[in-house]
Each structure stands twice: as structure tokens, then as C-alpha cells.
Chains A and B, each alone.
Chain A
Amino acid sequence: MSATATARLHRRLGPGGYLICLRGIMWREGLRFVHQRGRFLAALVRPLVWLVIFAAGWREVLGVSIMPPYHTYILYSTYVVPGLLAMVQFFYGMQSSLSMVYDREMGNMRVLLVSPFPRWFLLMSKLTASTAISVFQCYAFLVIAWLWGIDLPQTAWLAVLPALLLCGFMLGAMGMVLSSLVRQLENFAGVMNFVIFPMFFASSALYPLWQVQQSSPLLYQACRLNPFTYAVELTRFSLYSTMNPIALGVVLACSVVFTAAAILAYDPARGLLARRPGAGG
């Protein structure tokens, strides 16, 4: 390699190059998000249906007794807000992984994977980008919830940010692992049935765990083993500026495990993708 080429290589692949690459991936994700307004609307409508219809119907029936982090009785509609925030992130994480499957089928994914930057960095950048967009969607939902009359502490807006970032990262990483396992786009419907819905319903998103325990101890155990429960609880406690160390620990641990699994799955040496023959000659 010539001296000029080597100098150019060092310049582009130095710390500045990493930042440029990260910014480029985030910019592209942002552009795609802007171009797909339908997805944004769908992401908002889904939790709003739960908040405006489901929770409104139950608010007079179900009051939630005093339990941490709440200091007083709360309405059911207030109770479900953290679960619906986690739902927004969960669905965006899955949508993002769905778009990775689509990209892989359409070939766009290869453009990302042949970048000279390390594979782990490219995947982390993609995760960062999808997390940023899911956090933006969460704030859009929070604004609508606030306009709908959901009472939140003033500090909630800022206090919930770290939790949203962390939960968005965990759920995005989980989606990335799933995307590596799903071979074709049409198989993704199975993910909805076997992953998304069970994880959402078998969690503390819609009902307090103590109520679940009373009605079904087995379901309670399933909820306790579900990482999504801890994402919901971390978000719930953060909204009230309270720390939930167990939820934080589980979400952190799951983030690390899912991210490592995603990097492994997309690793050309060990990943699942390398076992699949490509089309053509």
C-alpha cells in the first residue's frame, strides 16, 4: 500500500472516522424515519389506543393501591403509562429488526457490513440510532399522554431519559438478535405471535405483579423471568425519580447479553449468516 493510501487510511479510520461513521448511520436512520411517517403514526397510535380506550374503560374499575414508586392511590391510566412507554420502545426495536431483515433481503445490509469499521461498532451504531429514535417516539407519546390528562411529576421528563435510553438499547439489541435468526421477512409474523405479544402481556405493563400473583402464580413466575417486566419497572420508577436497583441490574445485564449475542450473530467468523449460501453464482 502506498504512503498516501496509508495516510488516508489512518485519517479515515481514526477516532474522527468512527464519529463520522456513527453520525452517518444515525443520519440515515433518521432519514428513513422521516420518510416513513406511517410508521411513526402507527407507533403512536398503538399505545394511544391502550391509553385512550383500554385504560379509560378500566380507570373506574381498577384503582391501583399504594405501591412503590407511587405515594398515593393512582388511576389505572397513570399506571399503564410506563408500560406503554416500554411498548413504544419494544415495538420500535422489533420494527428496527424487521427493517434489518428487509435490508438483508434487499441487499442494503451488505453496504453497512462491508464498511471498514469493525462489525461490533457498526451494530452498536445502528443500535444507538434506533434507540435515539425510540426515545424521540416515547417523548412524543408522553406529550400526548400529558395533554390527555395523565399527571406526571415535573421531574419525570428528564428523570426518565436514562431509563428510556437503556431500555431502548436492550430492546433494540434483542430485536437485532431476532433479526439474525429470522431468515425471511414473512417469517417475522411468527416473531409477533411468539415473542412480542407473550412478552408484553406476561409483564407488569398492564397489571401490577401482585395482582398477577393472586390470579396465577405460574404467570407471575413467567412475568418475573421476562426482561420486559424489568424495562417497564425501570421506566416506572424513573418517572418518579426513584431507583429500582433490581430492574436496573437486569436491564443492564440483558443489554450486555443481547448486544454480545447480536455481535456474535453478525460476526462473519461465527455468525449464523455465514452458514447461508447467497443467491447467484
Chain B
Amino acid sequence: MTGTLRRAQPWLGTLVSIEASVDRALPGTHAAMATAFAAIARVHAAMSSQCAGSDVARFNAAARGTVVTCDPWTIRVLRIAAELRRASAGLFDVALGSTRGATYRVVDTRHLLKLDDAARIELGGIAKGFAVDRAVAVLRSHRVRAGLVNAGGDLRGFGSGAWPVQVRGSRLRLTVQQGAIATSHYRNGRSLYRDDPLVVPDRRDVHAVDRLVTVAAPRCVLADALTKVVALTGDPAHPLLRSIGAQAWLQ
């Protein structure tokens, strides 16, 4: 017997759904899904700014000079974010322009040093994508043949399946086989549906951004983060996209 198992739970301020192809040889699929949801919950607990006691909340509340103990996954996300910030010439910035200078320094894989009282970080524009990638990694390590993880519209498919995807508020329809898609809808520079901020330092025109952006990328963390770069530049052919094998649609 083959089929598909689907479950959904509320995490990261949205609905996270996981579907996995099942066959009789794999009775542990529910266990695999539970472990995948646990990975999502771990990202939620560490990186949601609304979650009291999260790494992000504690960092934002801390004073300059504080060493904040973090989940190693938070440090991983910050490293990816720093790379994207450099590659996008500062367009993607998890510090949202909260400080003029440096925001933090990574001490090691578990510790972050806060460098400025005013420094704030917000991982809402990247953590969902990262969570999707972690869930996909769990499912694969449990030898789930094919599946799709969707965190409020940031989604990634793996294995042999092909999933039709409709972009909300658009006529764009895509089929995802192996790869990720993220969509962000901004009006007046603000995300319509979620915590997905666009603010970058020295960009006063940001409040005028009114765009629906969809990005396809090999990994969901990249698709999620790059929606911000495309929204701000208005350029679906931004060189950064090509360099990581991503594609964008702008409406």
C-alpha cells in the first residue's frame, strides 16, 4: 500500500504542514514526521522574536557586552544571514538597521556577544525557510522517499514527488519537484501576512515597496531570504539569484 500522510501543526506564527509518501516498508513515517515537527519546534523556540525566552528575544533584551547563549542552529542561521548580507550589499539585514555599526559577534557555535545596546535582530525573514530545510533533512534521514514541507507558504519538496503550487494572490502556478519556493507579499513596505520585515539601513524608499515576490531556490532558507532582496531591488534577475541557482517572479 502506498499513499501520503499529511499533518499540520501551528508553529512559527503560521501553519506548518508536512506530507510524506508512505509505503508499507516504512512503518516509521509517523515517527519521522514527529521528529520533523520537533525540528520545526526547535527553530520556533530559538528564533521567534515573539517567543519569550528565545535566543532572539534574549539577545534583543540584553545590554551591550552580554554574551547570549544560543542554540547552535541560531548561530548557523546568523552565519547564513551574514553571508547573504555581504552578497546583497546589505539589502538583506537581520539587524534591520537597528545600529549603525556592528550588531553582534559570534563567539563560538553557542554564544553571541552583543555589541550595541540598541542592536536588535529579527529572524522572521529567514527562520521559516531554515525550519523547512531542517524538517526536510529529518524526513530524508528517516528514509522518507518523497515529501513536501510548507511553513506558511515557504515550502520545499524532495524525492520523487511533484507538487503543484499556486502562488497566493497571483496567477502564477509552479510545479515543485526538488527545490524550494517562498513567497512574500509586501504592501507599503510591510508584509501582508507575517513578520517578514524589509527595513534596511539608509533606504528611505522602503515604505513604498508594493510587491508580490516568489523565489525558487535549491534550499528554502535561501528562497525565504531572497524574497527580501528581490522585493527591495525590484529585480527578479538580481545577480545574487543566479549565483546560487535561484529564480524569481515579481508581480
Question: Do A and B belong to a common assembly?
Answer: no
